[in-house]
Structure 1
Amino acid sequence: MGLTASVHDVVVHPSVQRRGIGRKILEKITRVLHTRGIYDISALCTGKERPFFQACGFGDDAMGATTMMYTRNLYK
């Protein structure tokens, strides 16, 4: 087992989505992390973003768990 990293956001402007840009960003991140000795990458995402990460090779963790992170804006 080695070092791990987390991806929290991969953002592409809506006007240029669905052109493979997000996938290329994630591939670059993956290559850079791999060269730095990162063993495992996790992605925190919403249910809407999940198909994107699955298409990029991400899946449930080794225990089969899925995770969702909730936030609350205190300034509303």
Structure 2
Amino acid sequence: MSDIYLLLTADLAEEVRGPTVPGAALAPVLLADGVTFVLPASVLDDPAHAVRQPQLAACARRIVLPQEWPATDPALLD
């Protein structure tokens, strides 16, 4: 998988979130900044998500650094 991600606003994340074809769905992830959502850029090449390509094609793309991801809840590690 690529380290390049699509950057989405909250509105766009809500618009594209959910099923695209049976058995496939998009689930944008909120970064630690509490504002920016991301999806792997590879979704643009996945035929299962072709229905969302027009909305996602214009998104800015960049590498997401490890410190930008939300902290893991320690309770989930038990």
Instruction: Name whichever structure is richer in helix by fraction.
Output: 2
Do both share a fold (TM > 0.5)? Answer: no
Return the structure number with greater strand share. Answer: 2
TM-score (norm 2): 0.28
What TM-score does the superposition give when structure 1 sets the normalisation length? Answer: 0.29
The structure with the larger Rg is 1
